[in-house]
Structures are given as structure tokens and as C-alpha cells.
Amino acid sequence: MGKNEVYSFKKLPIIGGEYSVDNIEPTDISVHFTLTGMIHEQIKDLPDGTEVQIKPID
């Protein structure tokens, strides 16, 4: 790993990603917390089992 990197899920488990080594990669710490924070903020009030669609932002 490089400086300012953390291990981060490629696809978050909360949206269907697996808890496996294949789903983890080194990621810049600011990117990790920005993206995971945005996703968690948007889905925090959804009931368990709700299907969501993740769309990239421009």
C-alpha cells in the first residue's frame, strides 16, 4: 500500500459486496471516506432488503 491508502471494499457489503479478499483493494483514504460516506448517508434510512441502484456521478 502507498502513503495515505487504506484497504477498502470494491463493492460495499451493505450494497451486496462480499466479505472476501477479492473484494478489497488499496484506496486513497480521502476517496474511501468520501465515497463510502456518501453511499451510507443516502441509504441510512432504507429498510433492510431494499433494492438500490448505484449510479456514477459526473
Q: Where are the domains of the chain?
A: 1-58
pLDDT of residue 30: 97
Backbone angles phi, psi at 28, to 5 degrees: -55, 135
| 58 has pLDDT over 70 | no
**Per-residue pLDDT reduced to its tens digit, 5-35:** 999 999 999 888 999 999 999 999 999 999 9
pLDDT of residue 49: 86
User: pTM of the full predicted structure?
Assistant: 0.76
Burial class (CB in 10 A: 0-12, 13-18, 19+), 46: exposed
Task: For the beta carbon of residue 1, count every other beta carbon within 10 angstroms.
Answer: 9
Q: Are 18 and 42 in contact (CB under 8 A)?
A: no
